[in-house]
Structure 1
Amino acid sequence: MSIATGNAAQAPETLLKLLQPTLGEERARWVLDTLEIDPALAGSADYASRAQVAMALNAALFADLLDRAPTAARYVERMRQAGEPIVFDHGALRTIDGATGALPSGHEAFGRFLSALGYVVGGLYPLPALTMTGRAYVHLDLPASVPQFFVSELHIAQLPEAAQAAAARIFGDSADPLGDDEWRALDALARDGGCSIEDGVTVVRGALRAFNRQHPAPALADYEALLEHSKEGAWIATEGNAFNHATTRVPDVIAHAEALKSESFPLKPAVEISRNGRVRQTAILADKVSRPFVLGDGSTVERAVPGSFYEFISRDLVPESGLLDLTFDSGNATGIFAVTREQA
């Protein structure tokens, strides 16, 4: 992806200090110039609020997704060329509710440290068609400005026995990416609501590692056994807890989608509309990626599988409060999940 500088010299200094050790100065300035940053997150102090640490983590995850999803990178470059900043609404990830070795099971693998960054569960979304449950983690301090996390978990115990056994072999030796240094910094952040830049960098780096695959490359036979009963589980087998997608908030998602289709972006056919009509979503189809699988003789083979993608959302105001509707919708989420479904 090409790196333009634009007005990056004006990047908020505290966020830049939090990002630069991980992304490098040029890349950190680039991503902060690309995203719309609430002035409340600006500053140049040597002390970072939990909202600033949360925003820095989201910016790092956004950059990581663009490195893994070329079509998403092409979209973001399109917006930069048009001079339109990205309003980063939320990111999504998938987890395993089952045996995961040293890694806490399900959403707790992320809730345990997102709480220190100021996040709480703002909504619970059953996804029965996918044998999953989604949770929306919303930031307490700046809920409309700091991106949410939509964390879903696959309920392994509800799958057929063959898929359960395959999942246990795939995910059962997962590692915990967070160590003593990360927990010391997270504990300080949770206690004080802010931290030193040094501790903030430790949190961002450690949390960024959590959005990765924590288990070894899966056996091809186990992957195929899980794929038969859960395409979402198969996605986690190859991609782990990586950002499944990042989402731009746009004024009119329907018009935005039509414009992108005219430019040959591969979008899903339909726009998902929430039951209350206020939340509308669509997405670019997932890019394919090459991933290793272990064969019975111990050798490996590469296969093309669905990777991550980019989503768009429009949110209306809630009439009773006049505030932006920050909720999600189970039907919308189920429809969006389809863009990473490997064809059987």
Structure 2
Amino acid sequence: MSTTNLQFVLSSLLGAEHASQLSDLLQIPASTLRPRSDTVSRIEIAQALNMLLFEKLLKAVPQGNDYVQDSVRAGNKIRFDHGALRTVLGISTGTLPAGEAAFTRILRPLGYHVNGLYPLQRISMTGRAYAHEDDPEEIAQFFLSELHPHNFSVEFQNTVNKVLATSQDPIDSHSAQLLQQLAADKTLPITDTLTLLPVLVACFDRQHDLPSIADYQTLLAESAEMAWISTEGNAFNHATDRVPNVEQVADAQRALGRAIKEKIEISRNGRVRQTAFRASTVTRAMRDENGVLVDMKVPGSFYEFISRDRFLDEQSQTDKLDLTFDSGNAQGIFKMTASASPATN
């Protein structure tokens, strides 16, 4: 891999040893292992971004990291299936575009397209799956969900506006131009790739100020998902490992004493099965009624497992991996970040 664009990009950003360690964790699609050149294709940039975001998630989710390290010691590599993130539609979001627009401007130039629409009515959200056009089965998808504040109380909507109005857009004018160039040419010079990637990674984070304790409680009373967004923003809500048998993985992790969901979520067609570790607990500093910062324990991100079956596509008469999601599965998995109330340290 030392002679590929992907490894050169990762080594340039992380250092050679760190890049090698990250590469050892993941199954890397053959479609992204292209010889060194002065330009980098969109699929290589997408894979580099996915690897950087996967590592970022592991740093935030100790149970997930422990599982991954166990897998590597056992001689296995992680097959990164998808990453999930949350946005908010139709609300003042400062200089950051509202809803999925903050990320479609990134995903489309990288080669992603909408591969499914999933109403999440119980939690007043809409999910969209984005798959990569150049290698949909091997490049990790993005599950991008939007929360609809207009379905909640006026007080809730006002609080959402108050919290998100402080958002700052991490994409500067030069990065926006590079995304436009990538969309047009499907490649970027390697020096521009190295400039753009850290900006893209920064987009997957909280872009607004932390809420006050009172504002957090107002949001939590009506939507655990919005409360989560208020403290974690657009960070990966979870990253997902594609495994052959999710039931066996769940049983093995439960035997190790790790906090994993009891129920396996099964899609209506039976081909997609999911479960997850409970969300990590993180500490966020919020102001109390006197304006004093108090460390609060709230739900963070989590690590998920998925099994996908292959099937015969009747229309094309080809064997395909079921890359779909399921609204019921998603809403069940989202409960991993629900919490009744924040706790002080």
Q: What's the TM-score once normalised by structure 2's chain length?
A: 0.94
SS in 2 for 1:94: strand
Displacement of 1:40 in angstroms is: 1.6
1:260 and 1:128 mapped to 2: Cα distance?
A: 31
1:77-96, aligned counterparts within 5 Å? Answer: 77-96=69-88
2:15 and 2:157 mapped to 1: Cα distance?
A: 42
Match of 1:19 among 10, 19, 38: 10
Displacement of 1:12 in angstroms is: 6.3
RMSD across aligned positions (CA): 1.2
Q: What runs of 5+ residues in structure 1 fail to find an aligned partner? A: 1-9
Corresponding residue of 1:6: none
The answer to whether the aligner puts 1:99 opposite 2:92 as a matched pair is yes
1:1-344, aligned counterparts within 5 Å? Answer: 10=1, 13-43=4-34, 44-97=36-89, 98-320=91-313, 321-344=318-341
The 1:11/1:92 distance shift into structure 2, 3 A limit, reads farther
1:46 counterpart letter in structure 2: D
Displacement of 1:339 in angstroms is: 0.6
Corresponding residue of 1:5: none
Displaced runs of 4 or more, over 4 A: none
Q: What's the TM-score once normalised by structure 1's chain length?
A: 0.95
2:149 and 2:285 mapped to 1: Cα distance?
A: 23
2:3 and 2:131 mapped to 1: Cα distance?
A: 22
* Residues matched between the structures, number: 335
2:2 and 2:156 mapped to 1: Cα distance?
A: 48
Q: What runs of 5+ residues in structure 2 fail to find an aligned partner? A: none
SS in 2 for 1:89: strand
The 1:83/1:29 distance shift into structure 2, 3 A limit, reads same
SS in 1 for 2:83: strand
1:292 and 1:206 mapped to 2: Cα distance?
A: 25
1:67 and 1:262 mapped to 2: Cα distance?
A: 23
1:41 and 1:269 mapped to 2: Cα distance?
A: 36
2:312 and 2:30 mapped to 1: Cα distance?
A: 26
Displacement of 1:11 in angstroms is: 5.3
